[in-house]
C-alpha cells in the first residue's frame, strides 16, 4: 500500500509538472528579470539624483556668475527629477526678482503651481511666492481666495499664507477678521517661524486683539 501510495504521488507530481512546469519556470524567469530591472533602474535613478545634486550645488556656488549657473539651472529645470527641477525653477524665479523682472518671476512660479508632476509642498510654496510677486496687482479678495486653503493652523504654510490673508482683510477694512488671524498666527505652536509669530503679535495689538500667550506669561511668573 505504501508503494502504491508513493507511486500515485509521483504520478500526480509528474502530471502537475508536465502541465504547469514550463509556466512556472517562465514565471520565475520573468520575476527574476523584473527584479533585476528594478535594481538596475533604482541604482541608475540614485546615481542620476546624486549627479543632479552635485550640479545643483555647483550652480548655487556659481550663482554670482550667471554665465556658469544659468545653463545648469535651465537643464535641471527641464531634465531634473521633480525635486531638483522645482528647486532649479525657484532659483530661476528668484534671479528674475533680483533683476526686477516681477512678471517673469510670477510666470515661473505660476508654472510650478500648475505642474502636477511636482509634490504638493513645492506647488504650495510657489503659489505663495507667486501671490507675493503679484500682490500689488491683485484685488484683496483674489489674495484671500488663493491663500485661504493654506491659511489654516494645520497647514505648514500658515505663517506666510495667514499674513497675506490678514493683510488683505485689512485692505478691505475688515479689521476684526484680520486681528483674529494675526492672533491665531501669534499663538500657533506649529510651523510658524518666530519672526512671523512676533510680527503677528504686534499687528494683532494694533488691531485691538490681545495675542500674547497667557500660558507663557504664567510660566514666566
- What is the Cα–Cα distance from 174 to 141, expressed in whole angstroms? 12
- What is the Cα–Cα distance from 180 to 191, expressed in whole angstroms? 18
Say which residue, 34 or 159, is predicted with more confidence.
Answer: 159
CB atoms within 10 A of CB 113: 20
CATH number assigned to the domain covering 138-221? 1.25.40
pLDDT in tens, 37-87: 544 445 444 444 454 445 444 544 444 445 555 565 566 656 555 667 777
- What is the Cα–Cα distance from 165 to 148, expressed in whole angstroms? 7
Q: Which residue has the cell 502530471?
A: 15
Helix, strand, or coil (residue 80)? coil
- What is the Cα–Cα distance from 164 to 180, expressed in whole angstroms? 13
- What is the Cα–Cα distance from 80 to 93, expressed in whole angstroms? 17
Query: How many residues in the chain?
Result: 221
Task: Give this prediction's pTM.
Answer: 0.64
Domain ranges of the chain: 1-101, 138-221
Q: Please name which of 165, 133, 137 lies closest in space to residue 149, comparing C-alpha atoms.
A: 165
Q: How confident is the model at residue 92 (pLDDT cuts 50, 70, 90)?
A: confident
Report the pLDDT value the prediction gives residue 190, as an integer from 0 to 100.
74
Amino acid at each position: 500500500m505504501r508503494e502504491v501510495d508513493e507511486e500515485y504521488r509521483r504520478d500526480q507530481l509528474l502530471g502537475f509538472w508536465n502541465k504547469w512546469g514550463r509556466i512556472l519556470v517562465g514565471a520565475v524567469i520573468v520575476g527574476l528579470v523584473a527584479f533585476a530591472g528594478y535594481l538596475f533602474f533604482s541604482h541608475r535613478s540614485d546615481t542620476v539624483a546624486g549627479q543632479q545634486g552635485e550640479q545643483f550645488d555647483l550652480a548655487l556656488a556659481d550663482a554670482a556668475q550667471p554665465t556658469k549657473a544659468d545653463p545648469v539651472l535651465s537643464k535641471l529645470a527641464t531634465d531634473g527629477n521633480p525635486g531638483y527641477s522645482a528647486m532649479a525653477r525657484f532659483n530661476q524665479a528668484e534671479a528674475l526678482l533680483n533683476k526686477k523682472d516681477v512678471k517673469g518671476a510670477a510666470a515661473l512660479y505660476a508654472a510650478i503651481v500648475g505642474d502636477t508632476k511636482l509634490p504638493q509642498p513645492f506647488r504650495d510654496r510657489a503659489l505663495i511666492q507667486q501671490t507675493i510677486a503679484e500682490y500689488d496687482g491683485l484685488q484683496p479678495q483674489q489674495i484671500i481666495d488663493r491663500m485661504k486653503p493654506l491659511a489654516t493652523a494645520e497647514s505648514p504654510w500658515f505663517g506666510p499664507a495667514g499674513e497675506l490673508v490678514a493683510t488683505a482683510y485689512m485692505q478691505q477694512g475688515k479689521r476684526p477678521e484680520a486681528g483674529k488671524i494675526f492672533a491665531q498666527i501669534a499663538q500657533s505652536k506649529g510651523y510658524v517661524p518666530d519672526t512671523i509669530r512676533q510680527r503677528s503679535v504686534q499687528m494683532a495689538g494694533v488691531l485691538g486683539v490681545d495675542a500674547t500667550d497667557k500660558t507663557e506669561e504664567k510660566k514666566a511668573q
